[in-house]
Amino acid sequence: MSASKVCPKCGAEGGDDDAFCENDGAALQPTGAAPAKKPARAPAPEPLSPERMGATRRVRAGKAAASAPAAGSTNAPTSCPSCHAKGSDDGDGYCNECGHKLEPSAGPAPRPPTRRSLEEALRAHQGPLARADIAEDKDPGLVRDHQQDATAIAEGSFEGQPWVILALCDGVSSSTKSGPAAALGSRTARDALAHFIKSGDIGHELIGPAVGAAIRAAHLAICGEIPGGGDDAPGATIVVALVFAGRVTVGWLGDSRAYWITGKGITQLTKDHSWVNEALARGEIQSAEGVDTALAHTITKCIGPLEVDGAVKEVTPEVMSRELGGPGTLVLCSDGLWNEVQDDEIGALVRGEEGRANAPSIARLLVTRALTRGGHDNVSVAVHTHDGGFGGRPPRPPS
């Protein structure tokens, strides 16, 4: 008697009453049926797979639970290794989304082993520092064996007014090309803004569009020079800031952040493009409290082929602008900092450096603090002490 159903993945046969393959959990198809088509891409924004903590792979999932394990539970929500849906097991041992056979989790996944010691990492951030009002610093962390964060900074003057550019990218970890993509993206955005300033067209009404155009230039540069698709499609978050004439303009895609810190406190200038923020906006959840940690940090926007599925398409960055209103410190950072160090502590650390008002010392302090808290991801920062920081020291002459 011939089989009525067959597995499209391994070719195993099944009977009329079978829905999923016993070998790999794939949904069985009638014998002779055409191969299953790839589902059409749903309109953005949409829930994303909780692939990692922080900014990584933007894989679409059909459904993902938005709650932590029940109180007292010893088992963490099961994550499907095939479609990556979180909490997809209703008790029968198979994924509700794709039918893949699941292996139950006996609790939260253990922290990955460290690649190098904290002492070794801190030694890389020792030595004298020159005084400056802009600085950048980064470290691969204690776990990752490669650096996928990148920064690019510049300063100068236009008609006697100093200007500062900070750019930072965090490459997604799902691609082997994301490190070069982040480096190219940060450099391109910085250079595009520097060209805009030097062209003589600078003006407050034009700065916002210029910041957006710089991010789009970074995206197109990555798509053109570091192409890729499928599982190895490169991508990166980006945040860019231009300070000119007492005003800061910030553009971003993803969850790399910009903070403005004064003696009164710390203000986050950006809003993460993340699953939890978009779920809140859509009314799917009422609060971020209790949301699965991985979902809370899964990004929904980035630059590079990963964002546009390998096609040559533009992106639409978010841009904001505000008066600085006096001295303070501007900090751009990847999630390798804010995942390890809370916002209030970041502000306290920067304010603790008030007497020095020195961007390099602030940048080093923030990176090393992230390392002492575990250094589970690449960490990068770009810092500008505006008008000498809180002490009001005049900035050094622009280069």
Tell me 133's DSSP state: S
Q: Which range, 48-57, 181-190, 273-282, is most confident?
A: 181-190
Tell me which H or E stretch contains 234: none
Which residue do the tokens 């990556």 mark? Answer: 84
Does residue 207 carry a pLDDT above 90? yes
Answer yes or no: are the C-beta atoms of 169 and 134 closer than 8 Å.
no
CA distances for 309 relative to 58, 88, 113, 230, 232, angstroms: 10, 26, 33, 8, 11
CB atoms within 10 A of CB 342: 12
At 111-135, the pLDDT tens digits run: 566 678 999 999 999 988 888 999 9
Tokens standing for 241? 């800031």
Answer yes or no: are the C-beta atoms of 329 and 392 closer than 8 Å.
no
Tokens standing for 44? 């953005």
Write the burial class of residue 39 (CB in 10 Å: 0-12 exposed, 13-18 middle, 19+ buried).
Answer: exposed
At 47-61, the pLDDT tens digits run: 333 333 333 334 322
| Buried b or exposed e, range 71-98, using 16+ CB within 10 angstroms | eeeeebbbbbebbbbbbbbeeeebbbbb
Question: Which pLDDT belongs to residue 56?
Answer: 35
Tell me which H or E stretch contains 179: helix 178-198
Question: Which pLDDT belongs to residue 201?
Answer: 77
Tell me which H or E stretch contains 3: none
Q: What is the rounded average pLDDT for all residues in the chain?
A: 78
**Could you tell me which residue, 43 or 262, shows the higher pLDDT?**
262
CA distances for 393 relative to 132, 158, 293, 300, 352, angstroms: 11, 21, 41, 40, 16
Residues 176, 179, 185, 187, CA torsion sign: negative
Cα dihedral 355, 361, 367, 369 in deg (nearest 10) = -40
pTM of the complete model:
0.71
Across 57-61, 109-113, 230-234, 372-376, least confident range: 57-61
Region for 37 from its dihedrals, namely left if φ exceeds 0, alpha if ψ lies in -120 to 50, beta otherwise: beta
